[in-house]
Structure 1
Amino acid sequence: MRRPRPTEESRARAARITQALADLLPEEPLAAGPTEPGSAGERGPRGGDCPGCGEPLHPTAVRHGVEFDACGACGGIWLDAGELEALTSGLDPAPGTGAQNEADLRARVPAPVSRESDVRYRECPRCREVMNRRNFGTISGVIVDECRHHGLFLDVGELEEVEAFLRAGGRAVGEAARARATARSMPPPPPQLETSRPVANESVGASAVDVLWNLFFN
């Protein structure tokens, strides 16, 4: 995929988006201190190219201990593995107040904005491997680009759509939908086969009687 060349207009727009993100997400200090290799606090290299437009990603702001890698050109956000879960923890509604089914959920949450006319597979900014596309929460309609090793990319506006989906109770409704889909995909149990063991036992018994009869009376 050929990447667009930056222009003066795109650079000015990048500066405006970066400032808007900084204003939206107030900065918080990151927890300091060394981490052991492989620990939950270990972070990979920052930066890289934006999977959406190819412009550089930059650390922008921190919220709930999560530092965003944002693209100032298109507004996309890169989150390392586990960061989306940390960012959206606590958004589920109180028991009994969330949507009860998919119809109820659709009435509470507007449909996600369609952002592309064709399917595009994007590269992970960390390993450059092609990422998978998945429907967040099974039924949200927010299609995220995910690298199974390093994290996921959200287009501009998708983080807000994910948060609205979770606040309406979409996590529980999506899990129920996934369970139903799994049950439908399971093969039916094999039919119960009638055993011929009683018949065989009867045949053995009859043969023994015939042998004894012939022995004593013939």
Structure 2
Amino acid sequence: MRRPRPSEESRARAARITQALADLLPDEPPPDRPSEATSTGRRAARGGDCPGCGEPLVATAARHGVEFDTCGACGGIWLDAGELEALTSGLDPSPGAGARNEAELRARVPAPASRESDVRYRECPRCREVMNRRNFGTISGVIVDECRHHGLFLDAGELEEVEAFLRAGGRAVGESARARAAARSMPPPPPQLETPRTGREEVVAETAVDLLWNLLFR
């Protein structure tokens, strides 16, 4: 599979995203994983190339033990398994403050713009297996590339879209939509079968008819 080569415009955009993350997050190593400086002063990559463009992923910043592996060419972000959940665990609104349904959610958070003209299945930078495409939160419209064993990849700008979706109450609305879809996919209950009358019931019924006939016509 041929990977697209980054343009000068994409490199400049990626540099701005990387700098914004560095300014936002304190540049400190995660617990039990000291940083390794390279000859250029950047941290060494934890391994693997960017699923988006093929350039090396580089560890750039950490917050609460969550370390970002970013691509300096396209601005994509790799998060190991469980790191996105840890990073977004406190973004849900207080009870009653979030959107109550999908229409209200869309009014607060417009659907993300499509970034791809065709569907592309990407490889995990850790195991090189083809990743699954998943709609984050069922209805967010943010399509993330996920390896069930190692983590997920976000294109440039998708982390901000995920955060906006969660702040608007998207997690609860998405869970309700998933529950409704599961209910619709369940097969209908089998029809109730009429229980045949037993021989004793038939005898009793016939006896009652004979008794009534004798009283009326004999």
| TM-score when normalising by structure 2 | 0.81
* Letter matched to residue 201 of structure 2: E
Code of the residue aligned with 2:20 in structure 1: it is A
Measure, in 2, the Cα distance between the counterparts of 1:7 and 1:116: 16
User: Structure 1 residues 4, 190: closer, same or farther in 2, change over 3 A?
Assistant: closer
C-alpha contact (below 8 Å) 1:47/1:69 kept by paired residues? no
How many equivalent residue pairs? 194
Give the match for residue 216 of structure 2.
Answer: none
Q: CA deviation at 1:21?
A: 2.8
1:200 Cα deviation after fit: 3.2
Give the aligned partner of residue 144 of structure 2: 144
User: Which 4+ residue blocks in structure 1 deviate beyond 6 angstroms?
Assistant: 6-13
Alignment correspondent of 2:176: 176
Using the TM superposition, give the Cα deviation of residue 27 of structure 1 relative to its aligned residue in structure 2, in angstroms: 1.9
Is the 1:138–1:177 Cα contact (8 Å) retained in structure 2? yes
Deviations along 1:84-130, one digit per CA (max 9) or x if unpaired, are 00000011000001000000000011221211111000000011011
SS of the aligned residue for 2:113 comes to coil
Matched residue SS, 2:133: strand
Report if the CA contact (8 A) 1:55-1:73 is conserved: yes
Measure how far apart 1:192 and its partner are. 1.0
- Percent identity among equivalent residues? 87
Aligned ranges 1:130-141 → 2 under 5 Å: 130-141=130-141
TM-score, reference length from structure 1 = 0.81
Distance 1:17 1:109 in 2: 21
Q: Which runs of 5+ in 2 are unaligned?
A: 34-44, 206-218
Q: Secondary structure at the match of 2:58?
A: strand
Distance 2:20 2:30 in 1: 21
Aligned to 1:192: 192
Counterparts in 2 of 1:166 and 1:191: CA distance versus 1, 3 Å: same
The Cα shift of 1:68 comes to 0.6
Corresponding residue of 2:95? 95
Distance 1:144 1:191 in 2: 42
Indicate conservation of the 8 Å contact 2:11/2:74, yes or no. no
